[in-house]
A and B are shown apart, each in its own frame.
Chain A
Amino acid sequence: MKEQGRRPDAGRRKLLRAGAALGGAALAGRAALAAAEQMVQLPMVNGARRFAAYPQKRPLIVMTERPVQLETPMAIFNDGVFTPNDAFFVRWHLSNVPTSVDGAAHRIKVHGLVNTPLSLSVADLRNNYEQVEIAAVCQCSGNSRGLFEPRVVGGEWANGAMGNAMWKGVRLRDILNKAGIQKGALQVRLNGLETPPMTTTPDFVKALDMDQALREEVIVAYSMNGQPLPILNGFPVRLVVPGWYATYWTKMLADVEVIGSVDNNFWMNPAYRIPDNACACVEPGKAVKTVPINRMNVRSFITSLQDGAKVRAGQEVEVKGIAFDGGYGIRRVLLSADGGKNWSEARLGKDHGNYSFREWFTGFRAPRAGDYTLQVMAVNGNGESQQVGTSRWNPAGYMRNVVETVRVQAV
């Protein structure tokens, strides 16, 4: 059985068994540093991954080496509501990711349909704007893509392309208002320092509609959990768009352009789009009208027990985990121990705001020896919940939010 405590390295020292689903056992503590190369088998075909410690990072699951993409093991989310910077997932799109950044020399250019173009240093942000802090989940659009059925091509993540941090910075709105937004502004186009290796490859550029760009929660962040951002998470500044998928959270933000049209570059269209319907889903093979991906849906995970864990029959075991959504806030978390027939209410942990992970706690007692199916479902402040049963499907593998299942064996 796994320890339930919050000690950072507790219960993580056992080696991964080949074939174990991604979840609890995922090690990655300091103790693991000493170990030789660790492998994990994510629960998908071609899901063998190795662990490696990249600079400023503890050993994480390596999805790809260039551009570097690192996944956070589920066990990390059991340690606390905020994801440590050195365990935070990493995702880049283009192979030229700067490995050396002069934060003092860095400038954010603000231009386009503005009265006064600006060139802002991090010091400008810290000295000349109101400082704001917000807890927010950063989740890749394609988090859990590898679990889609039928499978789809792309970054084959299990559930660890997400993290929660306390971000500090200044409102994008305040910057735009200082520059003075001109009539006809439709979108704000965002670009960071990563560049493609060839001029024929589309640069990674994203755009937000003005109403999103002007939301008061959207900030240009220079601090993550009280520390400068790791380079691989976008040092010295990244955009934080609470509630929305990470594709808009431009890392190493360098260029903010107010435009009078709708950006149609590759990364806005056809990439990062979802079916234009309430479920963001479609039957495999069918064509559907699409819109840019936007607000996150509701998800919840059991973090204290991994799939296949053993518990003692007749004894109460604490079950805990996390839940989050796109900004309405988590109101309820329900646990079922009988495959979804009966649900009981979990206790919610401290509220860090509507955009944060919300921890939840409950107990489970297996009345007798045997197999049990634990399932967790969250409900947000807008009454939205998770997909029960078979997961919804879309061709890019976005927005998975099926009710998660952990099978445990009582002995």
Chain B
Amino acid sequence: MKTNVKKIALAVAALGLTACVTPSVADKASITLPQETAHFKQGPGSDVTTIYCTICHTADYVYMQPPQNRAGWEATVTKMRKVMGAPASDADAKIIVDYLMTQNSRQ
């Protein structure tokens, strides 16, 4: 992966106070993040899930979790809607929970 780090103006401000050299300051830094690779697997509800969930995060947030039962996924989806502001309707939330149950669930 490429690193596009521009270190402009490496100012060494020793100022003659001590013999030690203070660290250089990069005035400007910029990076390019790698292309996202984590996506929701195709299946019933994957489109709705992608629309709402990936506003804030990639699909790996779901796949890394310990398998959840329906109540567990419902609690998470409710938190995302009520606390984190995901603009999904009740009907869409049901589609998302159903989809998550097909992806990473337990009884």
Contacts and interface: CB of A to CB of B under 8 A. Distances in A.
A266 interface: yes
Interface in B1-49: 1-5, 7, 9, 13, 22-34, 36-38
B56 interface: yes
Interface residues of B, number: 43
A234 B51 CA distance: 29
Contact of A64 (B1, B24, B30, B57): B57
Interface string A62-77: 1111111000000000
A44 B31 CA distance: 32
Contacts of B27: 102-104
Contact of B57 (A66, A100, A152, A202): A66
Given A56-B31, A223-B23, A156 B37 contact: no
A146 B64 CA distance: 9
Interface in A147-161: 151-153, 155-156
Interface in A128-166: 131, 146, 151-153, 155-156
A55 B7 CA distance: 13
A146 B83 CA distance: 23
A232 B34 CA distance: 13
Interface residues of A, number: 52
B68 A153 contact: yes
B64 A64 contact: yes
B31 A153 contact: no
B85 A153 contact: no
Nearest to B83: A266
Contacts of A68: 33
Interface string B79-107: 00001110100000000000000001000
Nearest 9 A/B pairs, CB to CB:
A200-B85, A151-B66, A55-B31, A100-B30, A104-B27, A65-B58, A228-B26, A201-B85, A156-B64
